[in-house]
Amino acid sequence: MLRSQVLRWCRSQVPCTLSDHIIVPGPVLGMMSLDHTEAKYWAERYDDWTRKLEVGAYLRHGELSDYHRWKARLLREQLEMLKHEVEDAERDEVTKLISRISRSHNRMSHAFREEL
């Protein structure tokens, strides 16, 4: 039951696009425009979603391992770097970070769905 709830949350709260077998979170795609205002908006929403995921997992299990905390924290740190790269209009760096964020998102999602 818990696994299906987390899976539903991941799918409903973080819109994704499937492209060449890589899941790219929708908010991250919005940052490709290099619009700082939009990037800041989506980064804040995404940050909020990861924190809610952590809180929900903690409330259900009574604890949250350092491993799960680090998965979410790594994603948030990459989002922060992405905001700065968008602000500097570094398209190549933005593209690289989006790829890293996509992989981190997939790993975090797997950790909370399968390993909790």
Band of the pLDDT at 18, cuts 50, 70, 90? very low
* 1 — pLDDT class (breaks 50, 70, 90): very low
* Domain housing 98: 2-114
Q: Distances in Å between the alpha carbon of 32 and those of 40, 78, 87, 88, 107?
A: 12, 15, 11, 13, 22
> Using 50, 70 and 90 to split pLDDT, how confident is the model at 64?
very high
Going from the C-alpha of 21 to that of each of 54, 75, 79, 103, the distances in angstroms are 26, 20, 22, 11
- Counting the structural domains of the chain, the total is 1
88: pLDDT strictly greater than 50: yes
